[in-house]
Homo-oligomer: A and B are copies of this chain.
Amino acid sequence: MKYSKATNYALHTILNLALSKSSKPIGVQTLAEKLNVSPTYLSKILTKLVKEGMVSSVSGANGGYSLTRGWESISFLDIIFAIEGKSSLFECGLDHGPQCQIQKVMLKSEEKMEEELRRQTLADLAKTSE
């Protein structure tokens, strides 16, 4: 069980966008170079973030990507959910009701992690990284 590379790329790209003071959008070409990853692949990842409303994109010459207003409150969890999906890490397929301790424990522990990821926002990240 690992986070996908795509999640890694998404986090780094968003951090790059947050740190860029430019008011102009940044092209995927530029972003991809920093991460040493192919532009078309990164483009797919960015499109997911656009669909979740964290990033805005503009086509055409001088186009590119930028964070949407309100970006400061985007959390790590938002980004991770956008890439990995929102479903639970533990899925047994069955449902043996409320007396099932296994599921209870697994879900609670997962919730602890998510709580922490939800607490960490881009604002915090940008502040301590600049």
Name A residues whose Cβ lies closer than 8 Å to a Cβ of B: 1-4, 7-8, 11-12, 15, 76, 84, 89-92, 99, 101-102, 105-106, 108-110, 112-117, 120, 124-125, 128-129
Q: Is the CB of A102 within 8 A of B2?
A: no
A90–B110 CA distance with the chains assembled, in angstroms: 15
Q: Is the CB of A89 within 8 A of B3?
A: yes
Q: Is the CB of A2 within 8 A of B125?
A: no
Q: Is the CB of A110 within 8 A of B109?
A: no
Give chain B residues whose Cβ lies under 8 Å from the Cβ of A115. 112
Q: List 22 A-B contacts (CB under 8 A).
A: A1-B4, A1-B84, A2-B90, A2-B91, A3-B90, A7-B90, A15-B101, A15-B102, A99-B129, A101-B128, A102-B125, A105-B116, A105-B117, A105-B120, A108-B116, A109-B113, A109-B114, A109-B116, A109-B117, A109-B120, A112-B113, A112-B115
